[in-house]
């Protein structure tokens, strides 16, 4: 019984299955050999590494075997072919020193005989064999790479999925070649334009493309990112192993693709620092332009909220962006309307502001104990009802008269509107009063 006899098998991926070095072939080879030589290897002494590449070796089972050798529990190791154990000359010396010399272990290859040497001549021969194996591995992998490269030059892509907007074509001997049909080019350019020029979050982009059913595919953050970053759209073919520049004419320029990639990960900074009234608000007291200031308050959920302020460096007060916006609510809209219409609306908006202040007043009265709860609530409820009716009226008015409401404009539109219509806004800090001076 060969308690100290072991067998080691290594099988790589598909490539070696093609070579004929499958696990079964190696098993049978070793089995035949040991039967013929009257050797028995216990069931637990077979070590098999499956699906391992010769180049990038992570031989888990072999490492276990190595430990057994280190502990002196092995006498013989049987392998099918020497290249199953030794990839290069360095491996050869490791085996010779650590196995053969140190631990007196015999390494026997079914096909090549014993791997060891006792004199310089034998050492030379072993080195030559190992060098030859190494050469074959390298050549095989270079051949694969060359084949892939040559094939890609013809337009044959070894990629699993066809890029969005492309299709397989039959161009000469390039059966797997892809091309961008003329009717898709416009749609592809649209996506890149949209990503390169519009600033919003990735999810918003996906939602938008899906909402217009662009190119009739289901857009996801994954396929959109893959499309934008795939160099094939600007003409280069790139894989992990090689790059072919200007492989195809390309649907878009490299410049546009780079811009799109840069913009793709735009995180929406714009939303956090939007001073709508920057350089427009003046201090009524000292007539200087108010400066900008921001504070960040950390909320319980860990996210910070940014508060924007305008402050007067001379007088020392500050007023928040939201206050300015609510105080000016409705007042900036009128510029879009006929004057006689604006009069009614102005009154309505002023009443809305008054009601808001009254609600606030009753709230404070109740909180400070100056007003009974029922009384305060009754008044507040009445006021809220008035406010609601007014709001319905103004909303209908905006809608019927096609009024563009300032507070509902985008940041950009607000800025454009202010810069073209408003000379400046005077702010009186004592009375919390805003005066709009139009151009």
**Cβ nearer to Zn ion, comparing 283 with 403:** 283
Neighbours of 302 (CB within 10 A): 6
User: What tokens does 48 get?
Assistant: 């098999």
Residue from 259, 267, 310, 278 nearest 411 by CA: 278
Is the CB of residue 114 less than 8 Å from the CB of residue 145? no
**What is 181-227 written as a DSSP string?**
-HHHHHHHHHHHHHHHH----HHHHHHHHHHTTGGGS---HHHHHHH
**Cβ nearer to Zn ion, comparing 74 with 324:** 324
| Footprint of Zn ion on 60-89 (CB under 5 A) | none
In whole angstroms, the minimum distance from the beta carbon of 250 to Zn ion comes to 57
How far apart CA 339 and CA 354 sit, in angstroms, is 22
**Cβ nearer to Zn ion, comparing 89 with 429:** 429
Task: Using the structure block, give the residue that is written with the tokens 């009375």.
Answer: 431
In whole angstroms, the minimum distance from the beta carbon of 273 to Zn ion comes to 23
* CB-closest chain residue to Zn ion: 283
**Cβ nearer to Zn ion, comparing 346 with 426:** 426
Is the CB of residue 117 less than 8 Å from the CB of residue 126? yes
**Cβ nearer to Zn ion, comparing 245 with 287:** 287
In whole angstroms, the minimum distance from the beta carbon of 422 to Zn ion comes to 19
**Cβ nearer to Zn ion, comparing 232 with 290:** 290
**Cβ nearer to Zn ion, comparing 312 with 349:** 312
- At residue 358's C-alpha, the angle toward residues 355 and 360, to 5°, is 115
How many residues contact Zn ion, by CB under 5 A? Answer: 6
In whole angstroms, the minimum distance from the beta carbon of 306 to Zn ion comes to 24
Question: DSSP code of 167?
Answer: E
In whole angstroms, the minimum distance from the beta carbon of 436 to Zn ion comes to 18
**Cβ nearer to Zn ion, comparing 230 with 285:** 285
Sign of CA dihedral 307, 311, 313, 314: negative
| Footprint of Zn ion on 271-290 (CB under 5 A) | 283, 285-286
Is the CB of residue 251 less than 8 Å from the CB of residue 233? yes
**Number of residues that this document lists for the chain:** 439
How far apart CA 371 and CA 265 sit, in angstroms, is 54
- 3-class secondary structure, 94: helix
In whole angstroms, the minimum distance from the beta carbon of 284 to Zn ion comes to 8
User: What tokens does 433 get?
Assistant: 């009063």
In whole angstroms, the minimum distance from the beta carbon of 282 to Zn ion comes to 9
In whole angstroms, the minimum distance from the beta carbon of 412 to Zn ion comes to 29
Neighbours of 342 (CB within 10 A): 17
- Bridge partners of 282, per DSSP, are 289, 426
| Footprint of Zn ion on 308-367 (CB under 5 A) | 312, 314-315
**Cβ nearer to Zn ion, comparing 69 with 283:** 283
User: What tokens does 238 get?
Assistant: 């790139």
Is the CB of residue 69 less than 8 Å from the CB of residue 103? yes
| Footprint of Zn ion on 290-319 (CB under 5 A) | 312, 314-315
In whole angstroms, the minimum distance from the beta carbon of 434 to Zn ion comes to 14
Residue from 330, 332, 380 nearest 355 by CA: 380
Neighbours of 79 (CB within 10 A): 24
User: What tokens does 86 get?
Assistant: 């030794």
**Cβ nearer to Zn ion, comparing 217 with 314:** 314
In whole angstroms, the minimum distance from the beta carbon of 287 to Zn ion comes to 7
In whole angstroms, the minimum distance from the beta carbon of 435 to Zn ion comes to 14
Is 390 among the residues that bind Zn ion (CB under 5 A)?
Answer: no
Q: Give me the helices (H) in 214-311, please.
A: 221-229, 254-264
**Cβ nearer to Zn ion, comparing 306 with 432:** 432
**Cβ nearer to Zn ion, comparing 129 with 310:** 310
Q: Give me the helices (H) in 38-88, please.
A: 60-70
In whole angstroms, the minimum distance from the beta carbon of 294 to Zn ion comes to 19
Q: Which residues bind Zn ion (CB under 5 A)?
A: 283, 285-286, 312, 314-315
């Amino acid at each position: 019984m060969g308690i100290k006899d072991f067998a080691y098998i290594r099988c790589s991926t598909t490539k070696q299955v093609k070579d004929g070095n499958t696990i079964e072939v190696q098993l049978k080879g070793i089995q035949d050999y040991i039967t013929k030589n009257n050797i028995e290897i216990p069931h637990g002494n077979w070590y098999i590494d499956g699906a391992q590449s010769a180049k990038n070796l992570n031989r888990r089972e072999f490492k276990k075997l190595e430990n057994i050798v280190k502990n002196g529990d092995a006498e013989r190791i049987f392998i099918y072919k020497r290249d199953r154990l030794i990839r290069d000359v360095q491996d050869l010396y490791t085996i010779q020193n650590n196995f053969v010399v140190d631990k007196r272990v015999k390494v026997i290859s079914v096909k090549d005989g014993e791997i060891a040497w006792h004199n310089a001549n034998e050492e030379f021969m072993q080195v030559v064999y190992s060098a030859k194996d190494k050469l074959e591995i390298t050549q095989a992998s270079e051949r694969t790479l060359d084949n892939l490269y040559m094939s890609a030059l013809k337009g044959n892509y070894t990629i699993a999925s066809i890029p969005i907007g492309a299709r397989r074509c039959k161009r000469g001997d390039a059966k797997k070649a892809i091309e961008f049909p003329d009717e898709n080019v416009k749609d592809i350019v649209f996506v890149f334009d949209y990503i390169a020029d519009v600033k919003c979050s990735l999810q918003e982009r996906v939602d938008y493309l899906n909402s217009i059913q662009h190119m009739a595919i289901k857009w996801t953050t994954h396929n959109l990112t893959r499309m934008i970053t795939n160099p094939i759209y600007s003409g280069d073919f790139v894989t992990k192993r090689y790059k072919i520049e200007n492989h195809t004419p390309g649907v878009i320029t490299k410049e546009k693709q780079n811009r799109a990639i840069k913009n793709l990960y735009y995180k929406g900074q714009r939303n956090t620092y939007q001073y709508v009234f920057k350089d427009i608000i003046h201090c009524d007291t000292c007539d200087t332009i108010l400066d900008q200031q921001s504070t960040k308050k950390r909320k319980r959920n860990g996210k910070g909220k940014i508060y924007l302020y305008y402050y007067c460096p001379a007088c020392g007060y500050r007023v928040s962006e939201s206050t300015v916006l609510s105080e000016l609510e409705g007042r900036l809209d009128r510029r879009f309307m006929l004057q006689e219409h604006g009069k009614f609306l102005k009154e309505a908006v002023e009443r809305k502001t008054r009601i808001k202040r009254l609600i606030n007043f009753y709230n404070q009265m109740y909180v400070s104990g100056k007003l009974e709860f029922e009384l305060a609530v009754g008044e507040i409820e009445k006021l809220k009802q008035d406010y609601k009716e007014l709001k319905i009226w103004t909303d209908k008015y905006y809608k019927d008269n096609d009024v563009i409401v300032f507070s509902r404009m985008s940041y950009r539109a607000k800025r454009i509107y202010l810069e073209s219509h408003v000379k400046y806004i005077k702010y009186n800090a004592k009375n919390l009063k805003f005066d709009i001076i139009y151009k």
